[in-house]
Each structure stands twice: as structure tokens, then as C-alpha cells.
Amino acid sequence: MPHVQEGSFLTLHYRMSGPQGQVIIDTFDGQPATLSLGAGELSPAIEQRLLGLEEGTHTVIELAEGEAFGERQPDMVQWVARKLLNQLGDPHEQYAEGDVVQFPTPDGLGSYAGAAVEVREDGAVLFDFNHPLAGRAVRFEVQLIGVL
């Protein structure tokens, strides 16, 4: 049976959930995911745990607080002025606590998400750009369908 190695191309189902069991990603009900190990699609800690697993394996990987997506970084919580939000998105957008907003990367090629924590009277919004599971324990259930 093929085993997962550095650079393996994987077809898999996975379910990632946080400490209270809230499911973040679940592919079991739909199409399986395909990804290349080492391409940064999964966190390095999860990739390390997949190494050596046999094709056909169905297992659960428990990751300690901060292991999957690093510790929470206080400097990743930042105020964004209303003027900048208007430039980046819809000037009529109303932001509310809990909203997740996609921001373009400086090169314009990608995007990253920020969760609104607080909205000030002047329209500025405090965003948390940490991964939602940063500093949290993560449960990663995986079924390896194919290993190339």
C-alpha cells in the first residue's frame, strides 16, 4: 500500500473541528479534497501527522492548543479606518461584530480574512486577523482515499 510522504498527492476526506466540537471544514458529505503535501494547504503540524499513514487509513489526529495554527498574536488585532474599508470594499457596507471580511493581500493576488471584533462610532472596525483556531486545540479526522 502507498504511504504518505513529503510531496505526496492526496485524495482525502477530512473534518476539522475546534475545542468545543464546532466544525470548521467538513468534506465527508461532498467531494473529497485533493492536495499536495508541502504546498501549504494544510498546517505544517497536520502535514507532519499525515506522514507515514497508509492509503485507506481513517483516523483522528488531536492537536494541542496552538499546535495546528500557532498561538494567537496580539498584534494581529488591528483597527482599520472607515476610509480604508471604503477603498477596499463597498463604501455602503455596514460592518457588525462577528462579520468575517476578506481583504486583498498587498500584491493583490490573494486574500486573507479578518473577523470584526468591535465597530467604533466613527466607522473604524477592530479586526482580528488571527486564524480562528490560532491558540486552540484542533481535532482533525481524516480518511485517506488515495496517495500518489
pLDDT at residue number 60: 97
pLDDT at residue number 88: 84
The pair phi, psi for residue 88, each rounded to 5°, is: -80, -25
| Statement: residue 40 has pLDDT above 90 | no
Mean pLDDT of 88-115: 89
Query: For residue 7, how many C-alpha atoms fall within 13 Å in the half-sphere facing its CB?
Result: 0
Mean pLDDT of 20-29: 93
pLDDT at residue number 96: 95
Mean pLDDT of 127-139: 94
Given pLDDT bands bounded at 50, 70 and 90, which one contains residue 108?
confident
pTM of the model: 0.77
Given pLDDT bands bounded at 50, 70 and 90, which one contains residue 47?
very high
Give the cell for residue 36.
499536495
pLDDT at residue number 137: 96
Closest to 128 measured CA to CA, from 142, 114, 112, 148: 114
Mean pLDDT of 91-106: 90
